[in-house]
Amino acid sequence: MDWSGMFFDGWAGIMRTLLVGLLAYAVLVVFLRISGKRTLSKLNAFDLVVTVALGSTLAATVLQEAVTLAEGAAALALLILAQFLVTFASVRSKGFAAAVRSEPTLLARDGRFCPRAMRRERITLDEATSAIRAGGGRGIEDVESLILESDGSLSVRMTG
């Protein structure tokens, strides 16, 4: 086994990583400023996928010599354009919006859990109770509503 290139393979690779990394980061910042705040929002699962894909694409552009800066920039632009088109269509079509966006789910109401909804959303009693405590309650009896939001967070509204 050749261990010579495992820790250091010369300055050329490091210089490429620094230069391409800086330029790719600048390209991403420019694209994000052009595309607007929605591109990196956490409104639904699709938004999260795009955010992760942007990070993965940036990393591949910076670290893989086989991916040129132009190819990385094109991939970033494609992801941002796809995000724009999906959100554009979602605003104009309720059917399309329903297909790409999950709706919030009521998990508890008026001091009682909704077991079917919790099972369907794979939320355990421990997770729900933890969210209630984090929201300032002592237990389910303090809850007016517990909602699993579209972004996966739990919102709690206490009684009184």
pLDDT at 1: 67
- Please tell me the number of Cα atoms within 13 Å of 106 on its side-chain side: 10
Of 102, 153, 160, residue with least CA distance to 128:
153
Rounded mean pLDDT of the chain? Answer: 90
Share of the chain above pLDDT 70, in %: 98
Pick the closest to residue 106 from 142, 43, 157 (CA basis).
157
Give the per-residue pLDDT at 35.
Answer: 85
- Average pLDDT value for residue range 65-69: 94
Average pLDDT value for residue range 62-85: 94
Quickly state the pLDDT bin for 8 (edges 50, 70, 90): confident
- Enter the tokens of residue 71: 């190819």
36-57 pLDDT tens trace = 877 777 667 777 888 899 999 9
For 59, half-sphere exposure in the C-beta direction (CA atoms, 13 angstrom radius) is 6
pLDDT confidence bin for 102, thresholds 50/70/90:
confident
Q: 2 falls in which pLDDT band (50, 70, 90)?
A: confident
